[in-house]
């Protein structure tokens, strides 16, 4: 980034990802090193994204951070870890010579970040947030290397949002974490028919955050230890093969089983943690009835540390399953906004399907459905009118 009159600015966007082999548990809480490898699908930024602008200026007197328009604590240890690591890499790149380039590493920085989806509702906002922070800082300082190791220091799952498509976070072996990195398994173009439906059941903040929850699990759950040592290594290899083969039956079955095992480790934690709600369980039962009716796996659910369901399916199933969800959870007020994101065609349900699958409807339990698909990794925003900070380095007033 060129520094004009001592002010440099860069804006990036970054995606959310949903793990199909879940990360739950750290072996090093400071470096954020996981007890097992994980694998995720990066979701398209047309529907879910974080945008972050990072600016540096000799006129700034302190580092500052704004999240969704409100000033936040820039001293947060994870924000500081990302800043420190990016600056360390920038210094290394400049061969140790301080301030030879236009943009001084000693300048204070201002950061503004916004999500186009609810924060902390179990939609992996921290993953997109830290991936975006690291991408914007990297652009600001002219770094071109792979930075999943730095994003990992913000939030474990953030390292997987540094790539598009299908992404593995390999746990690594080294105590310093230099081999605990994200790797792309396949790009977003690999499986063009794959679709994702996010069933938003609650916009409330979750009761126990992932960071605290997984630490209690590490300390108390024997099931989690078995999962990390025995189950995940086998599943990871299988899941990579299902993705390579675009085998939805295998992919969907394993995604559901892995989500269920993650929530089983939450119940095995002491005191137990509950992220699934009655509505989540209704959705699980619905998916199984729907698959049973069709005689094979047409939809697969996955739940993170919250009650919202992420449904994986194929393009030819979307319209029918959305109609099944609409009948099962009739919208109370927002009928016209019930389906958002990518367009969904209309479907007429056969009476046999309705009879077998739509058992006791629960009105209003699903707020809305977001239709999306796999998408690319972080993007640079070239258009200066899209910067979240103005020429004075302060957040632009939002329209
Ligand atoms: C259930 O990455 O949010 O979404 O590393 O402590 O920031 P920290 O945790 P975080 O945990 C995500 C857990 C999960 C599963 C997953 O994304 O793999």
pLDDT tens across the length of the chain (399 residues): 544 557 999 999 999 999 999 999 999 999 999 999 999 999 999 999 999 999 999 999 999 999 999 999 999 999 999 999 999 999 988 875 555 455 788 999 999 999 987 654 456 579 999 999 999 999 999 999 989 999 999 999 999 999 999 999 999 999 999 999 999 999 999 999 999 999 999 666 667 889 999 999 999 999 999 999 999 999 999 999 999 999 999 999 999 999 999 999 999 999 999 999 999 999 999 999 999 999 999 999 999 999 999 999 999 999 999 999 999 999 987 678 899 999 999 999 999 999 999 998 999 999 999 999 999 999 999 999 999 999 999 999 765
Alpha-helical segments (H) within the chain: 77-93, 125-140, 148-152, 210-220, 222-226, 232-245, 248-268, 278-294, 318-328, 351-357
Nearest CA to ligand 1 atom 6: 211
pLDDT at residue 204 in the model: 66
Tell the residue nearest (CA) to atom 4 of ligand 1.
304
Output the residue whose Cα is nearest ligand 1's atom 1: 304
State how far the Cα of 294 lies from the Cα of 307, in Å rounded to an integer.
26
Distance between CA atoms of residues 349 and 327, nearest Å: 10
Q: Mutation test of ligand 1: which of 156, 205, 215 has the most ligand atoms closer than 8 Å to its C-beta?
A: 156
Residues 273 and 306: their CA atoms lie apart, in Å, by: 11
The alpha carbon of 34 and the centre of ligand 1 are apart by a number of angstroms equal to 10
Give the per-residue pLDDT at 398: 63
CB of 305 closer than 6 A to ligand 1? yes
Name, in order, each residue with C-beta under 8 angstroms of 340's C-beta and a sequence gap of 6 or more.
47, 368, 369, 370, 371
pLDDT at res. 143: 94
Nearest atom in ligand 1 to 130's CA: 7
CA distances from 127 to 44, 87, 130, 201, 303 (A): 14, 21, 6, 20, 15
Residue 119 Cβ contacting ligand 1 at under 6 Å? no
19 lines ligand 1 (CB under 6 A): yes
d(CA 256, CA 284): 9
d(CA 83, CA 218): 28
Ligand 1 pocket, mutate which of 23, 158, 224 (most atoms under 8 A from CB): 23
Distance CA 68, CA 74 (A): 14
23 lines ligand 1 (CB under 6 A): yes
Sequence-ordered list of residues with C-beta below 8 angstroms from that of 247, at least 6 positions apart, any chain: 241
Amino acid 332: pLDDT: 80
Which numbered atom of ligand 1 lies nearest the CA of 155?
Answer: 7
> Phi, psi at residue 352, to the nearest 5°?
-60, -40
Determine the distance separating the centroid of ligand 1 and the alpha carbon of 103, expressed in angstroms.
34
pLDDT at 172: 98
Mutating to test ligand 1, I would choose from 121, 125, 151, 157 the residue with most ligand atoms within 8 A of its C-beta, which is 157
- Rounded to the nearest angstrom, the distance between the alpha carbon of 348 and the centre of ligand 1 is 38
For residue 38, the ligand 1 atom closest to its alpha carbon is 18
């Amino acid at each position: 980034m060129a520094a004009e009159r001592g002010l440099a600015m860069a804006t990036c966007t970054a995606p959310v990802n949903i793990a199909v082999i879940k990360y739950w548990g750290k072996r090093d809480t400071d470096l954020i090193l996981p007890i097992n490898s994980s694998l995720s699908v990066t979701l398209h930024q047309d529907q879910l994204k974080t945008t972050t602008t990072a600016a540096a200026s000799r006129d700034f007197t302190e580092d500052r951070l704004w999240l969704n328009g409100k000033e936040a604590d820039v001293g947060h240890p994870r924000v500081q870890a990302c800043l420190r690591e990016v600056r360390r890499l920038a210094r290394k790149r400049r061969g140790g010579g301080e301030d030879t380039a236009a943009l001084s590493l000693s300048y204070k920085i201002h950061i503004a970040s916004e999500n186009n989806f609810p924060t902390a509702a179990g939609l992996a906002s921290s993953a997109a947030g830290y991936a975006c922070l690291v991408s914007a800082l990297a652009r600001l300082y002219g770094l071109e290397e792979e930075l999943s190791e730095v994003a990992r220091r913000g939030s474990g799952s953030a390292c997987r949002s540094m790539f598009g498509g299908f992404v593995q976070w390999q746990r690594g072996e080294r105590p310093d974490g230099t081999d605990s990195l994200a790797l792309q398994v396949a790009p977003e173009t690999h499986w063009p028919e794959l679709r994702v439906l996010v069933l938003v059941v609650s916009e409330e903040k979750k009761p126990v955050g992932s960071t605290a929850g997984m630490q209690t699990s590490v300390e108390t759950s024997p099931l989690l230890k078995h999962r990390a040592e025995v189950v995940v290594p086998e599943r990871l290899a299988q899941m990579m093969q299902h993705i390579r083969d675009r085998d939805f039956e295998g992919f969907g079955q394993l995604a559901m089983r892995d989500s269920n095992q993650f929530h089983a480790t939450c119940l095995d934690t002491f005191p137990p943690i509950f992220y699934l709600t009655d509505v989540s369980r209704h959705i699980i039962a619905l998916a199984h009835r729907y698959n049973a009716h069709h005689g094979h796996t047409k939809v697969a659910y996955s739940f993170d540390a919250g009650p919202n369901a992420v449904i994986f399916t194929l393009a030819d199933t979307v319209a029918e399953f959305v109609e099944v969800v609409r009948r099962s959870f009739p919208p109370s007020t927002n009928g016209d906004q019930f389906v958002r994101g990518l367009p969904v065609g209309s479907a007429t349900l056969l009476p046999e399907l309705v009879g077998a699958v739509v058992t006791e409807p629960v009105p209003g339990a699903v707020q809305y459905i977001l239709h999306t698909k796999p998408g690319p990794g972080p993007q640079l925003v070239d258009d200066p009118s899209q910067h979240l900070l103005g020429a004075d380095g302060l957040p632009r007033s939002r329209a």
